[in-house]
Amino acid sequence: MAVALSVEHLAYRYPGVEEKPDVVVFEDLNLTVEEGSFVAVLGGNGCGKSTLAKHFNSILLPSGGKVYVCGLDTADEEKLISIRRRVGMVFQNPDNQIVANVVEEDVAFGPENLGVASPMIRKRVDEALQQVGMFEYRKHAPHLLSGGQKQRVAIAGVIAMEPKCIILDEPTAMLDPRGRQEVMETVLRLNKEKGITVVLITHHMDEAAQAQRVIVLHKGKVTADGTPAEVFSQVEKLHEIGLAAPETVELCWELNKQGFDLPLGQLTPEQCAKTIFESL
């Protein structure tokens, strides 16, 4: 399978302010994301999740090493627009990424910047809004929408640019459970139906469990990488770096401490209940 994103020996440091030393985030990070996959990136606060996300979009440039997006070097300034049209970003606060005061005008913002012809923009905007299920709200003012709806508008704004890849930087952190579910369903559907590569940065374990692959970052290094079942069965390792496994896995793990012998890869409550039932 083709590689969508690749990080080679990435080093990055935030410059120190007033004689304070630089803050080293990455020293030698290596990572590849395959085209069409759904990858969740987990990690505690300050592990470099958001810094990594900003590298995929040339918002930050590596201090050392290389980041490639669909084979394009992010440090190459001439390719900036080509990179950004391939990689869409969705941020945490939906209010601070909506530009216009009508939903459809906001979705049109990206394609307008790319210089797409007017009738084509109309088509892209309508399609994008339909894909996120916000078509009926196209004439609304963004500040009257709920958090989940705003975030879906932000996602529509990104897919109207027809990207190969979407990076979501904790898109659900400011949402209520219902909004979180709306956003997750939208993202999963886009990945499945349109084959868009998704990198989801999150600290919700249940969201990460829905991905095909989970990468755990700790102090700028990849500490675990694999399918959700593989990663989450390493419960002790996750605890060590201040993370928790999904509740189902935690339950099986606690039971094992009491003398059971359950496998730890159960991610849904149904699977978990079945495993426990069978072992009784």
Partner 1 sequence: MLKDITLGQYFPGESVVHRLDPRTKLLFLIVYIVALFTASSWISYGVVFLFLATAIAISRIPLKSIVRGMKPLMMILIFTAILNLFFTGGDTVLAKFWVITITKEGLFRAIFMVLRILLLITCTFLLTYTTSPISLTDGLESLLSPLKKIRVPVHELAMMMCIALRFVPTLIEETDKIMCAQKARGADFESGNIFHRVKALVPILVPLFISSFRRADELATAMECRCYHGGEGRTKMKLLRYKRRDYLAFLAAILLLTGVIVLVNFGL
Q: Choose which of 22, 28, 76, 95 interacts with partner 1 (CB under 8 A).
A: 95
Does 148 contact partner 1 by CB under 8 A? Answer: no
Indicate left, alpha or beta for 244 from its phi (over 0: left) and psi (-120 to 50: alpha): beta
Nearest alpha-carbon partner for 225 in 31, 90, 26, 87: 31
Does 147 contact partner 1 by CB under 8 A? Answer: no
Nearest alpha-carbon partner for 200 in 89, 93, 95, 107: 89
Please check whether residue 33 is in contact with residue 199, taking contact to mean a CB–CB distance below 8 angstroms: yes
Q: Which residue has the tokens 């001439």?
A: 78
Q: Choose which of 10, 40, 89, 187 interacts with partner 1 (CB under 8 A).
A: 89
- The piece of 29-37, 81-89, 128-136, 221-229 that touches partner 1 (CB under 8 A) is 81-89
Does 57 contact partner 1 by CB under 8 A? Answer: yes
Q: Choose which of 111, 147, 179, 220 interacts with partner 1 (CB under 8 A).
A: 111
Q: Choose which of 15, 19, 20, 115 interacts with partner 1 (CB under 8 A).
A: 115
- The piece of 44-52, 106-114, 127-135, 220-228 that touches partner 1 (CB under 8 A) is 106-114
Does 157 contact partner 1 by CB under 8 A? Answer: yes
Spell out the residues 6+ positions from residue 274 whose beta carbon is closer than 8 angstroms to its own: none
Give whole-number Cα distances, 37 to 70, 164, 211, 234, in Å: 14, 11, 9, 22
Least distance to partner 1, CB of residue 54, Å: 8
Q: Choose which of 33, 41, 121, 245 interacts with partner 1 (CB under 8 A).
A: 121
